[in-house]
Amino acid sequence: MSLHLVVALLMLLAAAMHAGWNLFVKGNGDRLSAITAVMSGGAVLSALALPFVDPPARASWIFILLSILVHLGYYAGLLGAYRHGDLSHAYPIARGSAPLLVAIVAAPLAGEWLSPLQCVGVALISLGIVSLAFEHGWPKGDHGRSVLYALATAVFIMGYSVIDGMGVRRSGNALGYIAWLFALEAIPLLLITLAIRRHAFFRHIGAHWKTAGAGALLSCGAYGLAIWGMSIGTLAGIVGLRETSVLFGAAFGAMFLGERFGWKRAAAAVAVVVGNLVLQFG
């Protein structure tokens, strides 16, 4: 089996895992506590691995710190999108827009220029995102706020994807970079949650520790695989393939949360996935 195929299959696994932990967060009434519990669980798991991996090179630490800051914005955007919109609507916009933004930014920063066929993929992604955003006409009310938060989330996804893609390539040790990033990135989020919702957070841990633990495993696995993929593949290609998670997210919202998933959302999600695959293999 070729390395390219192995990477592609692992990114599909990462996509399903990412949609899975987002399902846990969206389906919980206290989403701030839920996402903090998932990320904190991932930090504990990663901290346990630190003695067994070599630390990343000094040149990569600035990227770890920048990624931690950008992830805070990502969490805020994600919570806002889920507060105002469905998982099957907000998730495809947020995740599907990210490869488009990564492709644009990776060209000048990482020297990864798009081929004509990849430009077709970008056009398909854009068409799918626009279809979702204008599903009910001009976005307004909760629908409009959900779209805005989802697009803001996509910007942060683009930010940490490019940062971590460049950081892991300077680390000399992908596992060390992943472990230290995961062990540290939950600390600011945890401190914020304890400052404003301490009692609710501990109640959530007591009632949902099994779900939080499962979410932590899925979260670590999903982004850990993505960072490893970016250490050997192109940023836009890896992010694009990983964001096939929009299909999983849309399906999970319909199956487990009872969200409406008509043909328009289905067609838009398919356009995003096909565009991302063209972006990957073009």
Three-state secondary structure along 236-262?
Answer: HHHHHHHCCHHHHHHHHHHHHCCCCCC
192-200 contacts, C-beta under 8 A, 24 or more apart: 192/72, 193/32, 193/33, 193/36, 197/30, 197/32, 197/33, 200/30, 200/33
Average pLDDT over the chain reads 84
**Residue linked to tokens 């670590």:** 220
What are 263-280's pLDDT values in tens digits?
Answer: 777 787 788 778 777 766
Q: Answer for the pair 11, 238: CB distance below 8 angstroms, yes or no.
A: yes
- Cα angle, residue 96 at apex, residues 32 and 160 outer, rounded to 5°: 60
Radius of gyration of the chain from its Cα atoms, rounded to whole angstroms:
18
Q: How far is CA 223 from the centre of its chain?
A: 7
**Assign residue 258 a region: left if phi > 0, alpha if psi is -120 to 50, beta otherwise?**
left
Q: Answer for the pair 57, 170: CB distance below 8 angstroms, yes or no.
A: yes
pLDDT band at 227 (very low <50, low <70, confident <90, very high): confident
Greater confidence (116 vs 207) lies with: 207
| Most confident of the ranges 19-28, 102-111, 146-155 | 146-155
133-157: average pLDDT: 78
CA atoms within 13 A on the CB side of 40: 21
pLDDT band at 281 (very low <50, low <70, confident <90, very high): low
180-199: average pLDDT: 95
Euclidean distance between the first and final Cα of the chain, in Å?
20
What are 51-98's pLDDT values in tens digits?
Answer: 999 999 999 999 999 999 999 999 999 999 989 888 777 877 787 777
Greater confidence (180 vs 246) lies with: 180
